Structure 1
Amino acid sequence: MNFSHRRQWLLQLAMVLWVAIASLLIAPRAGASMYDTHLPPELMSGPDLCAYAPCGEVMPSAQHFSKRKGSPTYVEAYADDNGKQRIVGYVFLSTDVVDIPAYSGKPVITLIGMDMKGIITGVRVLKHSEPILLAGIPESELTKFIAQYIGKSAAAKLEIGHGQSDDGAIGLDAISGATVTAIAENQVIAQSAYEIGKQVGIFKVTARPRAHFTALRENLNWAALEKEGSVQHLVVQASDIGSGDSGRPYMDLYFGYLNTPTLGISLLGERGYARLMQDLKQDEHAIFVIANGQVTFKGSGFVRGGIYDRVQVRQDTGTFTFRDTDYQNLYHLEPGDTPPYKESGIFIVRSANFNPAWPWKLTFLANKVDPDTRAKSFAHFDQEYWLPARYLEGGRPKVQRPQAAWKLAWESKTLEIALFVVFLAVTAGLYSQRDRLVRASKRKNKPWISIPRHLLWIVAVAYVGLYLKAQPSITQVMTWFHSLIHQWKWELFLSDPFIFIFWWFLIISVLVWGRGLFCGWMCPFGSLQHLTFKLGQLVGLKRFQGLLPKKLHDKLKWIKYGVFAVLLGVSFYSMEMAEHLAEIEPFKTTFLVGVWNRSWPFVLFVGAILGISLFSERPYCKYICPLGAGLAIPTTFRLFGLKRKKECQTCHACAAGCGSHAIDAQGKIDQRECLLCLDCMVMYYDDHACPPLVKERKSREKAGMPLTPIDGKGYFIPLDSVRRNLSEKAAELNKKAG
């Protein structure tokens, strides 16, 4: 096939690709009814939960439901029994009990029903913000997952991915491709049901022993109190609540527990502490608060006889609020190094259910504005407080804390993580030795380059992509941008260990070598394209394979930068819309979800890309990939690039064989487009391929001069330099012999 026919064939295939993209973008979203759906404020905090939530679905045997009661709140469910109402169970909203973020960093809001024996009768997800369940895994998988809880006791040990074990744990099937979401939702359902069960008396809990303080009486300054943890610091930035940055925190608050002698004396003085303790009765606890900030911690709506609506104390599932009778003025603090403050006060917790020996949290409540939708919600910001062990007789009690979802994800995949790190280390190690590898290769015979790369491509597709599902994506880049601007949460990024490790590797490798190491050696989908291209050669399509004309390529390559800019811009308007548009990445269909779980436009899109890849090298990487564009931008500032000679400005031998079209007419390599195949570097040292070296070699052979090694700049070492070095060594040997 001549060049014009080949070009026509490639352009026709390119048209198929654009049609596939158009089909993809207009493809309907399947089942996104729960994704960031609007929930009325009355459902979240109003007295009549079941007027707005489908309580009957999670408690089918009930016909009537009470108003919210208890702390945390729940609803009693009643059934008609011979004209009377009989309580048959409880219904509760997960966010009234726990606040456990899922993969998105936001909780999955779940409605749960439980009967009088503690058996879960129904589970319904009302709202989630998991992007993979928007445009990847169908929401039916989430519905199937939560159905496993029906009929199980809230007191049972429920675990993801484990069968019935010796310790009585009941295994639950995870959501394939959304393990972190499953782990988080398991904690939400199990902890919510158990806490409500404890509150209503279904599950008996051993009472905690009363706290006994040591007789230690010291007078410490503020720095010492803060260092040992007796004084805690809670800061809420304006950005945390979606407000404009005014240069100072929205709330800057210090607090501490006053009942212990050392803390009370250090902060209030001997007389102040004695007076406070005379006022306090049994099971009453004093907490001091001082604050600066844009607002008052007392609450703008506070009136006499009312409740302080900005400050609460939480311990386990118990919440302790304060009325005006629970407040005392605080006029002075003794330590001379106390930080300046605008307002101060002492709050009294009056409850036998509060135990100062166990950890508790001070909570600041505020209205938060969603940066994407501008919708308002009530948010709480917590800071934990736990008395230092030296103030408690017997020290701090042993506390079993629920393990974070991200820790469970890391611990359950230790072997896979180790193998993945080996893959990254081997890749980086091989590329760091590229100079040796290319010197040992020739343009027509380069096993030291091709064999390792083919093996890495296979591992990237089979292990990293299909097995680990660790394909980096533009959605993660958008999430990072939003987290940097609004609120950074490490647990969000730690929730997927492979993506977390991969991105740290990417950040370092891009700044050191550029995007080419990832895009050309390690990217699962990029590797799949290149293996498809090689498959085309094996099945006899090599004569049809080729590149687009350089001028056309130089225009089309900017498409991916436009896609990146559009996705990033749209994400600031609507993350949901950006997640949908991010389906221009075929990664979810190929690795995360599988083509068998997607509708035809997604399958057509992947098929079109791989079909074109039989004839053209990595078309998606070069022209469409927004992730590649995002990595190309910092590649501009990489530390190391590929070598060039002055003759490269006029010699175009390397450019003719560059599959990335990354070498321009002046012989310069555009590292933003280069996929580091190293073909040009093999030629750089090949005296049978590089025109300047070929010319020098033939000249020496014709003149009968010996061939010297090729130096790091890509030239034969001059004979004069060799003779001079030999003379110097001979003189040195003679000197030693003499």
Structure 2
Amino acid sequence: MRRLLAAFLLCLALPCGAGVLTRAALEKLYPSPWMIGDKDAAVPVWPVHRQNGPTTELVGYLFESIDFVSVPGFAGVPINLLVALDARGNFIDVRVVSHHEPVFLDGLGEGPLHQFVGQYRGLSLKQNVIIDASGKKDGMAAHIDGVAKATASVRIINQTLLSAALKVARKKLGFSAAQDPDRAARIRSDLVETLTPEDLRREGMLHSFVLRNAEVEKKFAGSDAAGLDDAVLKQPGDTFADLQVALVSVPSIGRSLLDDASWKRLSARLEEGDHALLVRWRGGYAPVSERFVPGMPPDRFTLMQGGLPIEMRDLNLDLRFKDASEGGQARVFRVIAQAGLDPAQPLDLALHVTRLKGMIYPERFVREFGFAYRLPDRIYILPPKEDSAWVAAWKQRWIELALISVALVLLFAALSRQARLVADARRFAWFRAAYLAFTLAFIGWYAQGQLSIVTLTGVIHALKEGASLAFLLYDPVSLLVWAAVIVSLFIWGRGTFCGWLCPFGALQEFAGKLGRFAKLPQVRLRHRADARLRLLKYVVLAVLLGSVFVPGQATGWLVEVEPFKTSITLGFQRTWPYVLYAGLLVAASAVWYKFFCRYLCPLGAGLALFGRVRLFDWLPRRTECGKPCQTCRHRCDYVAIAPSGAIRYDDCFQCMDCVVIHQSEDRCAPLMLEKKRRVIIPVKAA
């Protein structure tokens, strides 16, 4: 068995796939009037155009999410989405290209999956997407419906879609490469003040930048451009450039500097989230050259934030100022919302001065003179503290997590005090029945905490592809149970999960008790036959783990050997072959105690292997156990006690029936004999 497992695990990993669609395939999906262009050589997107009269306009871009992000799903394989994004960052269309999510493969079916991704059509990357059932839509947030029984999968899909779309938007639409624009501060629209130019300068909202000739010459000193400007050399103390900058899209600044008509014209040209930067200058070196074309970015003036450039374009607006005495020239440059400008952070502005040396092919020398512009805190609103998508999942399920945590603490405490736990056999029977009912109904059917071999195959696949294991965080209930199971492996072995925390195991145990109550005949194999049949689950485990290294969807089909998804995750709401298979396994348990768990369960086989790290042989034994007493062995429904009386922990489900017998003076043969010896028979004279 060890050699077989090693052979599978040493198979060579295959490289992760990329996008699979071609231009021809996309043209079938999006026929005329759409026109699909050639795939971009630098960024894997297809430009989409549309005929608009005599001109052809860019509609947006088509791309596959797998070309940009690789967030593993619960099968360990990334979900691939086809996304159509328009030129302003709105979702035109979202479709599923491929996925291996178990819950949507013959489970709920793919209908709910396609309905879920369809909700993104018409939404914008400017909006926060919140998965709930409210159905709200507003300027900054959109609420979309999730999918019951697939909460973790839809969060992974959401993360995949938004991450890929933001990467495309940053590379092709001018979105900021520094951060998500939704995480930028917002200008307060409710704060409108009337301030004088002196007030604006004092608070830094109107910033003056004066550059002297001597400063310019000093920058060029030591280069071949030094001394090329005679005017600068002759009058070093004179002003080279005199600029004033202000973020006039801020109501308090714009209304204080511009007259009412100009403010209205400016506001009409800006969309929600846009910013407008006013630059005024009086003579000297201008922020735009003589060759500057209105409507274009300034050719001598740049804006950066966080060390990354942010594009701004001239609005070509004729503005009038309240204070006409300032004079000079002015330009207003627009920064679109998608650029991700954060008004809470400094704006790093720079004036570029160029000198030319030579006549025909002159050599260019450029020097940069920078300064910072910052708004006071009262002007903007900071965004709420950012939570990762998986953090939101944990917050939404805190009640379930709290109840399960209490139940786990109770179980661990009870198992650590086994003598007290089994002191009263009747009380212990009620405790175990109640706990199994909680496991089945709450952990399994309600909280969807059924552990599965799918998690192990998903982890192996992710490690094989070098992908992150962050997908585990999207299912907090399962992760909590996994943590408890891993701890229990070191203390008690595999039995804590298989005997107490497995919802399908609890369902089988109840079916077995019902079968005995109905006095159905029970199947019980001889020791040798039972031992051989138990090896089958290790073969199933080896085949499943090996399938991870085989191309295709073999793993997705093979994991169906587990009936967990059908019976617990989907509550038997599935197509009839799967329901029939799961139903037969449950029915088999009524006559063959926990048939699936003992002979077929690959997860149980894996836990049995890992359970060998157990630190304690915690089930009590006596020297008489097995020699000559065989009571526990014959009463063990799992056939987990050897003829020698030793516990086979790999096969033990921790039901503790043997501990109940071991502690009972009425059922344990050695204790019964000892009890008889203590009885004193009085001798009386005849």
Aligned partners of 1:72 and 1:96 also within 8 Å? no
Does residue 664 of structure 1 match 2:646? no
Whole-angstrom distance in 1 between the partners of 2:585 and 2:452: 17
Q: How many residues align?
A: 490
Does residue 578 of structure 1 match 2:555? yes
Aligned partners of 1:100 and 1:184 also within 8 Å? no
Letter in 2 for 1:579: G
CA RMSD of aligned residues (A): 4.2
1:142 is matched with which residue? Answer: 113
Whole-angstrom distance in 2 between the partners of 1:460 and 1:95: 38
> How far apart are residue 100 of structure 1 and its match?
5.9
2:667 is matched with which residue? Answer: 689
1:184 is matched with which residue? Answer: 156
Does residue 414 of structure 1 match 2:386? no
The residue matched to 1:125 in structure 2 has which SS? strand
CA displacement 1:167-224 (0-9 Å, x = unmatched): 7633222233332331232244456556766854899989999xxxxxxxxxxxxxxx
Letter in 2 for 1:146: V
Which of 686-695 and 184-193 deviates more? 184-193
1:434 is matched with which residue? Answer: 418
Whole-angstrom distance in 2 between the partners of 1:471 and 1:632: 18
Does residue 533 of structure 1 match 2:512? yes
Aligned partners of 2:303 and 2:309 also within 8 Å? no
1:124 is matched with which residue? Answer: 95
1:112 is matched with which residue? Answer: 83
Aligned partners of 1:473 and 1:587 also within 8 Å? yes
Does residue 648 of structure 1 match 2:625? yes
Relative to structure 1, is the Cα distance of residues 121 and 704 closer, same or farther in structure 2, using a 3 angstrom cutoff? farther
Relative to structure 1, is the Cα distance of residues 607 and 202 closer, same or farther in structure 2, using a 3 angstrom cutoff? same
The residue matched to 2:613 in structure 1 has which SS? coil
Aligned partners of 2:112 and 2:147 also within 8 Å? yes
1:27 is matched with which residue? Answer: none
Structure 2 residue corresponding to 1:103, chosen from 54, 63, 73: 73
Relative to structure 1, is the Cα distance of residues 359 and 613 closer, same or farther in structure 2, using a 3 angstrom cutoff? farther
Letter in 1 for 2:541: F
Structure 2 residue corresponding to 1:596, chosen from 563, 568, 573: 573
2:588 is matched with which residue? Answer: 612
Structure 2 residue corresponding to 1:404, chosen from 376, 388, 395: 388
The residue matched to 1:124 in structure 2 has which SS? strand
Whole-angstrom distance in 2 between the partners of 1:166 and 1:142: 21
Does residue 510 of structure 1 match 2:489? yes
Letter in 1 for 2:676: K
Whole-angstrom distance in 2 between the partners of 1:96 and 1:519: 37
Whole-angstrom distance in 1 between the partners of 2:671 and 2:414: 26
Relative to structure 1, is the Cα distance of residues 55 and 653 closer, same or farther in structure 2, using a 3 angstrom cutoff? same
The residue matched to 1:456 in structure 2 has which SS? helix
2:654 is matched with which residue? Answer: 676
Relative to structure 1, is the Cα distance of residues 359 and 656 closer, same or farther in structure 2, using a 3 angstrom cutoff? farther
Whole-angstrom distance in 2 between the partners of 1:423 and 1:207: 38
Whole-angstrom distance in 2 between the partners of 1:126 and 1:351: 45
2:63 is matched with which residue? Answer: 93
> How far apart are residue 529 of structure 1 and its match?
0.5
**TM value normalised by structure 2:** 0.63
Aligned partners of 1:62 and 1:77 also within 8 Å? no
Aligned partners of 2:496 and 2:653 also within 8 Å? yes
Aligned pairs (5 A) from 1:546-585: 546-574=523-551, 576-585=553-562
Relative to structure 1, is the Cα distance of residues 568 and 70 closer, same or farther in structure 2, using a 3 angstrom cutoff? closer
Does residue 424 of structure 1 match 2:408? yes
Structure 1 residue corresponding to 2:475, chosen from 487, 496, 503: 496
Letter in 2 for 1:457: L
> How far apart are residue 583 of structure 1 and its match?
0.9
Relative to structure 1, is the Cα distance of residues 474 and 666 closer, same or farther in structure 2, using a 3 angstrom cutoff? same
Instruction: Give percent identity, aligned residues only.
Output: 30
1:473 is matched with which residue? Answer: 452
Whole-angstrom distance in 2 between the partners of 1:484 and 1:197: 29
Relative to structure 1, is the Cα distance of residues 694 and 62 closer, same or farther in structure 2, using a 3 angstrom cutoff? same
Relative to structure 1, is the Cα distance of residues 571 and 703 closer, same or farther in structure 2, using a 3 angstrom cutoff? farther
Relative to structure 1, is the Cα distance of residues 40 and 196 closer, same or farther in structure 2, using a 3 angstrom cutoff? closer
**TM value normalised by structure 1:** 0.59
Whole-angstrom distance in 1 between the partners of 2:309 and 2:391: 21
> How far apart are residue 479 of structure 1 and its match?
3.2
Whole-angstrom distance in 1 between the partners of 2:550 and 2:222: 56
Relative to structure 1, is the Cα distance of residues 175 and 72 closer, same or farther in structure 2, using a 3 angstrom cutoff? farther
Unaligned runs of 5+ in 2: 1-14, 186-220, 227-299, 311-344, 346-371
Aligned partners of 1:116 and 1:202 also within 8 Å? no
Whole-angstrom distance in 1 between the partners of 2:562 and 2:453: 8
